[in-house]
Amino acid sequence: MHYPWWYVPQLTAPMLIAMVSVVHVLVSHYAVGGGLFFAVETGFAYRTQNGDYLNYLRRHAPFFILLTVVFGAISGVGIWWTIGLASPLATEVLIRSFVFGWATEWVFFVIELTAAFIFYYAWGKLSPKQHVTIAWIYAGAAWISLVLITGITAFMLNPGVWIEHRTFWTGFFNPQFIPQTISRTGGAILLTSLYVYVHASWTLQTSPLRELIVRRSTRPALVGAVMITVGGIGWFAMLPPSARLALEAAAVLTVLTVLIFALTAAVFLLLYLGPYRHPEWMSPGFALALFFFGLAAFSTGEFIREAVRKPYVVYNVVLGNQILEEEVPSVRATGFLQSGRWTREHVKERFPEAIRDGKVDSQRLLTSSLENRILAGRVIFMHHCNNCHAEEQGYSAVGPVLFSRSREVLVEMISHLHETHYFMPPWSGTPEEAELVTDYLWTLRPERPKGIYPNLERLEAKR
């Protein structure tokens, strides 16, 4: 509550975070799996003295570095930029709770970058043993970065005993840590094979070399698919009760969960029937089909992982409206507008008549003009609801859901948000502020569509 709100019209800030994050995740997992790919395959090419394969790996390296190191780093900064604006309190909690982990991850990130550039630019200048060693240094640093970040992101879904102890290690080794580490490692391996299929099928004509690359990338891909499945089962088993309820109760999440398993099964089947049994089938079209199936499954999983945290950003700690759960009673007692630094100063500047004894008096706002009540209600909406909802149109817009609700029902719903909608945070204001928000929301109501009940409408028109 001590941060200004960030308004992203129609799209909403969380969806912008999701778009940037999913793109980064798809690239960063290739950075991890690709490190293992180069370490294993470069060593194999040197051992078998396969010059053609070494030349292919050398041609693949710029594609890998440009996509993972350059674009991956840019999109990673994009994540920090968006979460810092959209979820500042949650970002603050993560930084303060895991500052040692973030610092360690940056150390391994620097090692990763250094090893990647040495691996590519010193190609042909190092002995085979030195070259492969550099590749393994990169692979190890990239995987440790994945483990460190996974521990922190898994904490957001289930902090476990951290709630009582508040130590780095109790937060890092949370109930979701092992399942998500398994599934993300498997995802990195699988996605890398899919990237390799696309690159090899487009840059190499049908040849024994292309079949060799496809064949050697298929077994890791199958292993990766199995790891994703095992990790996904563990992820579900370690969900907090309300997160599991959100997954089971929301129809869209149920459909997406089924879609994940269907896509994963399709990828596994195509891998077995195609590159595993018939590597010669790996045409650019086949490779792209596998690639997009894999991206769809992985992206859907990321969406579900984020969605089931509601009503939290950090489970049991930071609510979706950027209030600490433990602060809700005091904010209710003090008033939402008074509790926040930015809301308080805004009211003092815009509605000075609502200030009594230096504090915001929501009762005075309620007796103000309708225009002032609507403006004050919008301020509350933006701080309390904007983090998840658009206004009239856009992602999860509130306008359409107001249709057919009376004003009394709307006030009651706002006053008991978490009781009527378990995936929403508790109302964190006074009863008067609930009235103010209703005044604003009332302006967003869509007109009743014509023709829903034509017979009744004709009867009413005759009257």
Residues near 319 by beta carbon (within 8 Å), at least 6 away in sequence: 311, 312, 313, 325, 328, 425, 426, 428
Closest to 221 measured CA to CA, from 48, 36, 26, 43: 36
CA angle 33, 35, 37 (to 5 degrees): 70
Please compute, for residue 166, the number of CA atoms within 13 A of its CA located in the half-sphere on the CB side. Answer: 5
E-assigned strands of 12-82?
A: none
Question: For the chain, how many residues are written?
Answer: 463
User: Quick one: pLDDT at residue 452?
Assistant: 66
Instruction: Give the pLDDT of residue 235.
Output: 92
- Give the pLDDT means over successive 10-residue stretches in the chain (463 positions): 80 86 92 96 96 94 91 90 90 94 94 95 94 97 96 94 92 96 95 94 87 92 92 91 80 82 86 86 88 88 84 90 91 91 89 89 88 92 87 82 80 86 87 93 79 67 65
Burial of 312 (0-12, 13-18, 19+ CB in 10 A): buried
Cα(33)–Cα(50) distance, rounded to whole angstroms? 22
For residue range 130-175, list pLDDT tens digits in order: 999 999 999 999 999 999 999 999 999 999 999 998 999 999 999 9
Q: What is the pLDDT of residues 243-278, one digit of tens each?
A: 888 787 777 888 888 888 888 888 888 888 888 888
pLDDT of residue 205: 82
Name 246's Cβ contacts closer than 8 Å, sequence gap at least 6.
253, 307, 308, 310, 422, 423
Question: Nearest 5°: CA angle at 243, between 242 and 244?
Answer: 90
Label each residue of 198-219 as H, E or C.
Answer: HHHHHHCCCCHHHHHHHHHHHH
Architecture of domain 13-319: Up-down Bundle (1.20)
Taking each continuous run of H as one helix and of E as one strand, the counts in the chain are: 22, 4
Three-state SS at 454: helix
- Determine the pLDDT at residue 263: 86
Q: What is the pLDDT of residue 105?
A: 94
Q: What are the structural domain ranges in the chain? A: 13-319, 325-442
314 - beta bridge partners? Answer: 318
Q: What is the value of pTM for the model shown?
A: 0.88
> What is the sign of the dihedral through the CA atoms of 162, 168, 169 and 174?
positive
